[in-house]
Amino acid sequence: MSLASSTIASLRQRLVAKEITPRDIVQDVAAAIEAQNPAIGAYLSWDLEKALAEADQADLSQPLGGIPIGIKDNMNVLGEPCSCASKMLAGYTAPYNAGAIEKLRAGGGIPFGRLNMDEFAMGSSTENSALGITRNPRDLDRIPGGSSGGSAAAVAGNLAIATLGSDTGGSIRQPAALCGCVGIKPTYGRISRYGLVAFASSLDQIGPITKTVEDAALLLNHLCGKDARDSTSLDIEVPDFTAALGRDIKGLRIGLPKEYFISGIHAGVSASIQAAIKKLESLGAIPVEISLPHTDVGVSTYYIIAPAEASANLARFDGVRYGHRTAESKDLLEHYLKSRAEGFGPEVKRRILLGTYVLSSGYYDAYYIKAQRARTLIRQDFEKAFEQVDVIVSPTSPTPAHKLGELKDNPLAAYLEDIFTIPVNLAGLPAISIPCGTAEEGGKQLPVGLQIIGKPLDEATILRVADAFEKA
């Protein structure tokens, strides 16, 4: 087995035993990138010399010591590009490290490579990148999901040991499901958003994409914690998430929301999810039917709140302070118009326009305030459900990965791909997606993801359930 296809846990054992060095790992990952990235398109750039220098200085006494981790291109890493896969930030170099990057380095991890994404994290396919598409390693004619498509494709294609992504409405879990990886979105506020380029500030959350549940727990241990520079960062003790692994799940109540098991789910996805539920039941879990009655307004609520926040956050990209600057303009107004028109892609423009509309005079109460009320109802649905159950399970995505270009001209259909992940972000809950089988589509067997949703700050229980299922 190549080092690039290994897990964090197995590599750490070999590093401690002095069978390999951090330099060996970085070089093997770099060789995999050189060989496979032209076909997959997961990476936008990578600085091998810088990573090797860090590898040579790695502190192997640290839990992540010597392990290279790929970084989604919307997190600042000092001295490296941070383009958010947009022409708007072409040539921008990060002047500081994001809080999550500082914590990763403090645990011994080595940030290595910038991973492709939907522009400014707006999309579910990574087809919205201004810098080129990413392909699903399981079938190169299909999408890897998004917006963290590069992060998931790198792990699935063994171009990375593990990666970091960001999740605003499912952007870690959905690509992890479509590529056959593990992806976890922790409770909102668990991981600092300082240095993460904002899409929707009340929804965005950083998290890992890995090959195993154990690796996800290892990374979470060294990403979570209070950051005074992020006012939403939670000042609570970070448990050892690996302590939850290896425990049985006998007696745990598994919620099955009737609104998530609908007729529109792909038949292969449905069969894999039902088989996964039976497997959990055979391990001693107790299935309980529950209701999340406001699920049907989740997508529409999200696509009012998220674009509204995006329109405010992206207002700073005006070509004056930083960002793309048009070459020709006769006055300041034309400068703004041309710079933003040239710098932003179609999906980003669509969401800025929608967000500006719902925040405008006469529509704020009609749309934005109502959406916030609906968000409260969605959160209350989960609170009531968790009075009956310990975790909730569902499909991560209603369909397997579709073909490249299939939904590019139908954004509303693409938005519905996130129907099961969006409510988790609106409620600020933790959730993990793990591989649970395959679905046949077009003569190919494509990965299916099982989503496990937990109570606020109860990442330990969803990791426990995911680990038990994975090992079974």
pLDDT digits (tens, 9 = 90+) for 443-472: 999 999 999 999 999 999 999 999 999 999
pLDDT at 15 over 90: yes
Domain definitions of the chain by residue range: 8-244
Residue 320 CB: number of other CB atoms within 10 A? 12
What's the average model confidence in pLDDT over 139-162? 98
What's the average model confidence in pLDDT over 183-205? 98
Task: Name the residues annotated as catalytic.
Answer: 72, 147, 171
Residues 406-433 have pLDDT tens digits of: 998 888 788 888 999 999 999 999 999 9
Residues 468, 449: Cα–Cα separation, whole Å: 15
What's the average model confidence in pLDDT over 225-229? 97
CATH among 3.90.1300.10, 3.40.190.10, 3.30.565.10, 3.30.9.10 for 8-244: 3.90.1300.10
Residue 185 in contact with residue 443, Cβ under 8 Å? no
pLDDT band at 362 (very low <50, low <70, confident <90, very high): confident
The pLDDT > 70 percentage for the chain reads: 100
- The residues facing 183 across adjacent strands are 209, 433
pLDDT at 306 over 90: yes
Residue 292 in contact with residue 385, Cβ under 8 Å? yes
pLDDT band at 264 (very low <50, low <70, confident <90, very high): confident
pLDDT given for residue 416 in this prediction: 83
